[in-house]
Amino acid sequence: MSDIIHLLPDSVANQIAAGEVIQRPASVLKELVENSIDAGATFIQIVIKDAGRTLIQVVDNGKGMSETDARMAFERHATSKINTADDLFSIRTMGFRGEALASIAAVAQVELRTRRTEDELGILVEIAGTRVFKQETVQCDSGTSFQVKNLFFNVPARRRFLKSDNVEKSHIFTEFYRIALVNSNVAFTLFDGDEEIFQLPASNIKIRIENIFGKNAKKRWQQQLLTIETSTNLVSLVGYVGKPEYAQKSGSQYFFVNGRYMRHPYFHKAVLLAYNQMIQASESPNYFIFLEVDPQTIDINIHPTKTEIKFENEQAIWSILSSAVKESLGKFNVVPSIDFDQNGSFEMPLGMSVENVRPPQSNFNPNYNPFGTTGYKRPALDWEELYGDFEKKTIHGKSSSTWQSNSELSTIITGEAFVQQQEIEHNESRTENFQYKNRLIFTGIKSGLLMIDQHRAHTRILFDQFINQMENSKGISQQVLFPEELELNDDDALFFEQIIPDLKQIGFEFELSGKNSYSIKGVSALIGSSSVIDLLLGMLDSAKTTALDPTKAMKESISLFLAESASLKAGQRLTNEEMCDLIDRLFACANHNFTPDGKIINTIITQEEIEKRF
Ligand code: ADP
Ligand code: MG
């Protein structure tokens, strides 16, 4: 038999590559506009027709191309932006792979007109399905104009995968915002057919934000945004964060690094942490944060669509970012004066010794004695008094990172220091509850004063519900009006596929909308409508870590992550009715004393202790 291996023709190879790079009209727009930015354009005009299906045109006043370059540009791995492998570690341009134009030309009909200022005549290249149809000199303005027509004209399967015009347009706008925000010194216009959608003059960032998002805002963005700025030898960051009162169900959240948009769920958490207690769990703050780091310390190479970026100094930057945001919120007096979380006392994990935990700052004077009784040393709500004998109640020998299954926990808990369920049920006086610092619920019971951490209580309740839904009855799904797209890389998608059945059980609904991308059609009714994409990405990250540890159960990991994200946060004011409801639901849980990861949910100051004080 003769040999059977052969090289694929360019047209086929390029089409395969296009599968990665060009997923929809928005990808074409992104690639073309990024090329214009790289070419030093100061003015970029964009026209789309039929949500980019029939036409995406990008015209720039950048440096243009020579005749040879105009032809070369469509070759795969043809780029003017890097020369050697070393250059990969100091990338300053948006593009560098030299794949985009080859990919676009493989799956669309492309017309390029380009002229350098120094040339008298420009050049026209027409190419479709990787075949060059025309190449000739023409009269044209200096700069570059690309017309990309009839995307996927030769790949019907891909064409069918495209969504409604509205969805495709929203992808286009998403890409457009990402580029326009970080290039505010470049003027843009965007036309949808004949309709002008955006006309953005070159400006500073704040005005650019206003010009892009201003139309739909309740109040001028100028009033909503606080400046953040910090510079260290690892990172310098500038940008704006929204005042907490302007947090929305789904905020505008943008990170950029070295002039490039990035998605970074981990840094997102750093920002959220700074807002802790200031916004509702169902809301998310707006932010536009621009990081500059030494290009050698990041890897932008990990994903072909390049929105994920790996940082060498991720943890340090995390802290710098979180404190920068906190500082700016504090400077403008929006941070409450008592901030328990600063000291993390409530997050004291099971088994951690009390000595390692600093008591939170509060307005209490530890020597204050309201009654002048000499034997009375501390105010009733002194922290040590509440959690001082914490260690007695921890489960010895168990590290905080070990999962505690419900049954395991129940058997080790002595019960002595904790409230019994019957006591709650038979507690007539429990109709009056008191919420302390919008964080702890105090309620009188027969054996003393019961204190409940509202966030932990709710986490336990939701966790049990998720587990029950995964194992027994399917959870209720909330239909999504405008489905968001979850786009993953190959590894994440593979992993995600494994946990989809569990997520479906608790009410999520997904539809495969392309390679590794899922349209989110429904969300568990137990989850607020906060940013679902970030939630899922965060969950994916935490589930992946769990997957590496065979002692940890995946269902529990997913449930815990979702429960913690969706539960009431400290700082959330509760009505008496809501407190009653929370208490009832907590004590209906088999293990109402500890969170699934072993943190104390409730504790009692016994009647005896109280008596001793008087
Ligand atoms: P990359 O951007 O990764 O280099 P592309 O396939 O997007 O790869 O583009 C190939 C090359 O074509 C670029 O490196 C650049 O030299 C040239 N090019 C593309 N678009 C423009 C433009 N608008 N103006 C000038 N040169 C361009
Ligand atoms: Mg490019």
* pLDDT digit string, tens, across residues 418-428: 555 555 554 54
Write out the H or E segment, with its range, that includes residue 435: strand 433-436
CA 537 – ligand 2 centroid, Å: 27
- CA distances 515 to 171, 307, 440, 487, Å, are 16, 16, 46, 9
> DSSP string covering 539-605, please?
HHHHHHHHHH-TTS-HHHHHHHHHHHHHSPPTT----HHHHHHHHHHHHTSS--SB-TTS-B-EEEE
Please give the full DSSP string across 336-404, using - where no structure is assigned.
Answer: -S--GGGGTGGG--TT--GGGSPPPP-S--TT--TT--TT--S-TT-HHHHHTTHHHHS-TT--TTS--
In this predicted model, what pLDDT tens digit does every residue of 144-166 receive, in sequence order?
A: 999 999 999 999 888 988 989 99
* Pocket flag, ligand 1, residue 122 (CB < 6 Å): no
Give the whole-angstrom CA distance, residue 1 versus residue 135.
43
CA 142 – CA 146 distance, rounded (Å): 13
Atom of ligand 1 nearest to the CA of 98: 8
What amino acid is encoded at 8 in this protein?
L
**What's the pLDDT at 369?**
30
H or E element at residue 217: none
Helices 532-548 and 554-566 pack at an angle, to 10 degrees, of: 150
The 10 Å Cβ neighbour count of residue 177 is 18
Helices marked H in 183-286: 205-213, 221-224, 265-274
pTM, entire model:
0.59
**Cβ atoms within 10 Å, residue 80:** 16
pLDDT value, residue 403: 34
Cα torsion at 600, 605, 606, 608 (round to 10°)?
150
In angstroms, how far is CA 371 from the centroid of its own chain? 51
Q: Would the pLDDT of 540 be above 50? A: yes
Average pLDDT over residues 198-218: 86
Tokens found for residue 64: 């243009």
Report which ligand 1 atom has the smallest distance to the Cα of 60: 23
Read off the pLDDT of residues 41-96 as tens digits, 9 standing for 90 and up. 999 999 999 999 999 999 999 999 999 999 999 998 888 888 887 887 777 788 88
| Ligand closest to the CA atom of residue 62 | 1
Once rounded to an integer, what is the mean pLDDT over residues 333-341? 39
Ligand 1: atom nearest CA of 99 is 6
Give, as one character, the DSSP assignment of residue 263.
B
Least confident of 119-133, 328-342, 397-411, 521-535: 397-411
Nearest bound ligand to the CA of residue 102: 1
- Whether residue 100 has its Cβ less than 6 Å from ligand 1: yes
Distance (Å, whole) CA 166 – CA 239: 30
pLDDT(187) > 80: yes
For residue 35, report the distance from its CA to the centre of ligand 1, in Å.
5
Among 362, 344, 360, which Cα is nearest to 352's? 344
Q: What length does the chain have? A: 614
What's the pLDDT band for 362 if we cut at 50, 70, 90? very low
d(CA 217, CA 204) in angstroms, rounded, equals 19
> From the CB of 74, is ligand 1 less than 6 Å away?
no
With a 6 Å cutoff on the Cβ, whether 71 touches ligand 1 is no
Q: What is the pLDDT of residue 141?
A: 95
Cα of first residue to Cα of last residue in the chain, in angstroms, is 100
Band the pLDDT of 411: cuts 50, 70, 90: very low
Which of 46, 71, 101, when mutated, tests ligand 1's pocket best, judged by the most ligand atoms within 8 Å of its CB? Answer: 101
Q: How far apart are CA 555 and CA 543, in angstroms?
A: 9
Residue 79, ligand 1, Cβ within 6 A: yes
Ligand 1 pocket, 91 CB below 6 A?
no
CB of 36 shorter than 6 A to ligand 1: yes
- Candidate of 30, 35, 71, 141 to mutate for ligand 1, largest count of ligand atoms within 8 Å of Cβ: 35
